[in-house]
Amino acid sequence: MVERLSQSFSSRAEGPAAPKVDPQHDLLVDCKSAWRDFSRKKASRRERVLAAILAVYHAGPIAYDKRGNVPHFRAVPWPESQLVRGKSSETHTMKQLLTAYRPLAAVLPKLMRRLACLLAFGCLAAVACGELPAEQPARPNFVFFLVDDLGWTDLACYGSSFYETPHVDRLAATGMRFTNAYAACPVCSPTRSSILTGKYPVRTGITDYINPAGGNQPEKWNRPTPLLPAPYNDRLALDEVTLAEALRESGYATFFAGKWHLGPEGFWPEDQGFDLNRGGLERGGPYGGSKYFSPYGNPRLADGPPGEHLPDRLASETVKFIESSGDRPFLAYLSFYSVHTPLMARDDLRQKYERKRAELANEQPLWGQEGSRQVRLVQEHAVYAGMVEAMDLAVGKVLAALDRLGLDDNTVVIFMSDNGGLSTSEGHPTSNLPLRAGKGWMYEGGVREPMIVRWPHVARPGSTCDSPVTSTDFYPTMLEMAGLPLRPRQHLDGRSFAALLRGEAHQRGPIFWHYPHYGNQGGAPGGAVRDGQWKLIEWYEDGRLELYDLANDLSERTNLADKHPEIRDRLHKMLVEWREATGAVMPKRRETEAPPK
Ligand SMILES: [Ca+2]
């Protein structure tokens, strides 16, 4: 037993991957890491007790409270002479320490009894009684990659044969890839709010993308549509306890980089739980300066050298934060402006994909029809491909930093997009086939997302999960991963999918959407519910219902509303009751005729 501990401690203390920490505290960190490792590996009770004794004796309350890992810990007034020769304030090497502790193995049963007497409560008592859960006590770090407008098939690991995404593919190979993951809305601000609050957009009132000029509010609406869009909130309320605030309250360092799009100044990341904000504003795109290249004209992001590329810069800022986080657990939320318009890529990447497009010489039809819009059917947009690859390179930069710093082992990495790929407007840069339509639409192309979660030692590397989840679910899932109590009154609509990551069954129940707006991409106001294999869409202009069997019709080609009226009516009732329960605001009929086109 002691030999096993010795090996673990030695590798922690002397191996090349040992985390770089304050020399005053490296002993503490290493004890802690060792204990965490033993917990993870489901070590025997005796091994865990010994690791705990080491940790308690040498850590004391300050180091643990600082990191917030084991808040109930108390230093044990253990007679020094019995354990280590010398003063506890001295720094011991691991080898010295283990030599000193070696006799402990012989007296362990007696020590356990004495410990149980000394500690009537607290974590160590739980260890001694064998009650400590197998979960690691060290809180995991979180890196959350949110990509803007990335479509379901925009990654090689999700089937793209044109875009090249080796770094995200590697993330998928080391984590779990979800095939039925949804955004809470087919446009961006609402989904962003759902991740940070654990609530459907209908509850935060942010049901459409935030247009700082208010052009999509009903009083300013000037498009000749049958309905006036519903009014909606143009900022995330400060009284929401965001995911970042919940983690920060528990000792996490919190960092935001990139696109925010959840309200004006005063409602930016620094006002919603993030210690640092690099580039987050009211803007929905990189609309200042030279846009995707420095100078950025962004009051929350200092300009870099001329021509510096924004996704790479955001990755560098994220790495800098991770390097400076010390021994605090952290949340690094890298919210790319990519791959949203404006369509701009590095010249070398654009040229690479122009060559690739020429070599592939596609002869399939490029365009189909979705409502009044053309929809792209083939991925071959060289500039967009360059944007996807630049995002992938930035992800790779952050993942490499985790590896280099020895943090990959205790960092949960999440990858997600906020709505479907842009396929029916603004350059039509991508195709979401086999999914129907894209960003701005209630069909699967608008809301089904690529989603990857790497939870070291828990989620099976390279696994795939087909169970439906949605963007409200990150909040409770991440609290559960961190060993923190859930906040069900905050994340009202979120359901933890930690069980899925553990490989266990989990039925999250139906998933709902409410989008009472006209998108810029051709979509019309509507609502939807997915329950099992079935999805019902209700179009608010005329109440038309569409029912799809996603298990057999992923592309939503065959409307079964008339063939299965009982399923249609059951789902419609669910949707109506959900809207009533959540106080959904509906679009209104115009009181006067629509202005002429
Ligand atoms: Ca978006």
Q: Specify the domain boundaries for CATH 3.40.720.10 within the chain.
A: 141-515
CA–centroid distance, 427 to ligand 1, in Å, is 15
Q: How far is the CA of 340 from the centre of ligand 1 (A)?
A: 7
Q: Report CA torsion sign: 405, 408, 410, 416.
A: positive
Bin 503: left if φ > 0, else alpha if -120 < ψ < 50, else beta. left
List, for residues 416-433, the tens digit of each pLDDT value: 999 999 999 999 999 999
Q: How far is the CA of 499 from the centre of ligand 1 (A)?
A: 28
339-378 pLDDT, tens digit per residue, is 999 999 999 999 999 999 999 999 999 999 999 999 999 9
What is the chain's mean pLDDT, rounded?
84
Distance in Å, CA 191 to ligand 1 centroid: 8
Q: What is the pTM of this model?
A: 0.79
Q: How confident is the model over 207-217, as pLDDT tens digits?
A: 999 999 999 99
**24 CA distance to ligand 1 centroid (A)?**
45
* Ligand 1 centroid distance, CA of 239 (Å): 24
Q: What is the mean pLDDT of residues 173-183?
A: 98
- In this prediction, residue 575 has a pLDDT band, given cuts at 50, 70 and 90, of very high
Task: Considering only residues 462 and 37, tell me which one the structure prediction assigns the higher pLDDT.
Answer: 462
CB neighbours of residue 57 within 10 Å? 19
| pLDDT at position 367 | 97
Q: How far is the CA of 185 from the centre of ligand 1 (A)?
A: 9
Q: How confident is the model at residue 590 (pLDDT cuts 50, 70, 90)?
A: confident
- Centre of ligand 1 to C-alpha 553, Å, is 26
CATH hierarchy code of domain 141-515: 3.40.720.10
pLDDT at 446 over 90: yes
Percent of the chain at pLDDT above 70? 76
Express each pLDDT in 48-58 by its tens digit: 555 555 554 44
Element (DSSP H or E) covering residue 314: helix 310-323
Q: Categorize the per-residue pLDDT at 456 as very low, low, confident or very high, splitting at 50, 70 and 90.
A: very high
Q: Residue 35 Cα, ligand 1 centroid: separation in angstroms?
A: 42
Give the chain's radius of gyration (CA, Å): 26
Determine the distance separating the centroid of ligand 1 and the alpha carbon of 578, expressed in angstroms.
25
CA of 420 to the centre of ligand 1 (A): 8
Distance between Cα 549 and ligand 1 center (Å): 27
Q: Is the pLDDT of residue 491 over 70?
A: yes
Average pLDDT value for residue range 291-316: 98
- Rounded distance between C-alpha atoms, residue 377 and residue 157, angstroms: 19
Q: What's the CA-to-centroid distance between 308 and ligand 1, angstroms?
A: 23
Over residues 254-265, the pLDDT tens digits come to 999 999 999 999
Q: What is the DSSP string of 512-570?
A: EEEE-S--TTS--SEEEEEETTEEEEEETTT--EEEEETTT-TT--S--TTT-HHHHHH
Nearest by Cα to 429 from 364, 341, 493: 341
C-alpha distances out from residue 383 to 239, 260, 276, 356, Å:
41, 24, 31, 12
CA 252 to the chain's CA centroid: 16
Q: What pLDDT shows up at residue 32?
A: 46
**Span from the CA of 337 to the centroid of ligand 1 (angstroms):** 9
The percentage of residues in the chain with a pLDDT greater than 90, rounded to a whole number, is: 75
- Tokens at 137, concatenated: 């006590």
Residue 150: pLDDT band by 50, 70, 90 thresholds? very high
CA of 546 to the centre of ligand 1 (A): 25
Distance from residue 471's CA to the centre of ligand 1 (Å):
13
Residue 143 in contact with residue 412, Cβ under 8 Å?
yes
Residue carrying structure tokens 């990189």: 286
* 376 vs 17 pLDDT, higher one: 376
> Which pLDDT score, from 0 to 100, does residue 356 have?
98
